[in-house]
A and B are shown apart, each in its own frame.
Chain A
Amino acid sequence: MDELKTKIIERIKANFQDATENNSFNYNRLDFNVNKTTVPSILFYLKDEMGFKHLSHITCVDWLEEGELELIFIVWSPVDKIKVFVRTRLDRENPVMDNIDMIWRQAHTYEREFREMFGIQFTGLEAPQDFLLEDWDGPPPMRRDFHTEEYASETFFERPGREDAGDVREEIIKRSGEEIPDFAKKYSR
């Protein structure tokens, strides 16, 4: 496994100068940090030249303190049984990324979701605006500065309930006339 990893690192670094590797994982995982302009070409190279046929996942991490969004592409090689993480950072205020759904068709769905949930604009993505959120006019809801609880309490009705966590057994018995057996009483608070 280790020779394989070093071989992959050598080939990637020979072709992409800005790629920095992170080989600190002791199982079949390998990380590369790249610039966002390199992402399509490195994904093309991984798919076509090195046998990473399968796009496992695309995910996004919101680094609120650093003012950046991180996109992570996870690709998997069914021959070598190794997965490669391609990480890239985007500016949080104006996140723009190249469209990669010509490499893997399924990336289209991920990109629509990121556009909606994180506000990342993919240049050249041809898709209707609404995906999961219909008629949404708030900020992108998956960003960390979006307060979901505040938004929910503003937008939706709430049913007033009791604040304490007291024992309501007596009240239930009084209302329903239901008998509670002795063995169950010790479980009630």
Chain B
Amino acid sequence: MINDKNSQKIVDFIQNWARKHSIWVLAYGTGCGAIEIPPTMTSRYDAERLGVRGAATPRQADVLLITGYLTTKTLKRVIRVYEQMQDPKYVIGFGSCTINGGMYYDSYNTIKVLDKYLPVDVYINGCMPRPEAVLSGFAKLQELIAQGKANGAQKYKDNLDWYRENQKKIIPNWVMPEYNW
């Protein structure tokens, strides 16, 4: 009775509805994109009316918002932050730099394709994406969560070896604690 398919479907629907309307964002200000977050959160575009709210620490956050280019040095920190977050967790890649390198395509220390290192659920393109684009990215993420398709964290767990191999290619001295997430 409890474990049959229909009741699980109802529970999933309610949980996904709650997750969809309460998105706590850890805005990891890696690059220039962090400057677009204050207008998104404050009175002009007011993301809080959609339930999007800033979280103080990775433990409390649901979404890791990677704003802009990632150098090899910050990639280490981003991976660590991502692994400290609690399931279910999502990643939003923000700006062209996370998609294909953007204007840093020939830089010697910025990575170009983020989804080889971390599972990205939604990309927001543009350089810079304006707050409208950021909100539309959140709307897309909400849509994916409601459908149950935003399962980047599961992908990361399943293909951990592949992700680790890619990460260790960039970070040769791997001195990271193992998290029992």
Contact = CB atoms under 8 A, between A and B. Distances in A.
Say whether A associates with B.
yes
B73 A155 contact: no
A141 B170 CA distance: 16
Nearest to A153: B106
A156 B104 CA distance: 12
Contact of B108 (A141, A159, A161): A141
Provide the main secondary structure of the chain B interface: loop
Nearest to B106: A149
A133 B76 CA distance: 12
A151 B105 CA distance: 11
Given A148-B106, A148-B107, A159 B112 contact: yes
Interface residues of A, number: 18
Interface string A130-162: 001111011001000010110110011111010
Given A134-B73, A134-B76, A152 B100 contact: no
A155 B108 CA distance: 8
Contact of B112 (A135, A146, A156): A156
A158 B102 CA distance: 11
A69 B108 CA distance: 21
B106 A152 contact: yes
B112 A158 contact: yes
Contacts of B169: 155
A137 B172 contact: yes
Contact of B170 (A133, A151, A155): A155
Contacts of B106: 148-149, 152
A132 B73 CA distance: 8
B66 interface: no
B112 A152 contact: yes
Interface of B: 72-73, 76, 99-101, 105-113, 116, 166, 169-173
Interface of A: 132-135, 137-138, 141, 146, 148-149, 151-152, 155-159, 161
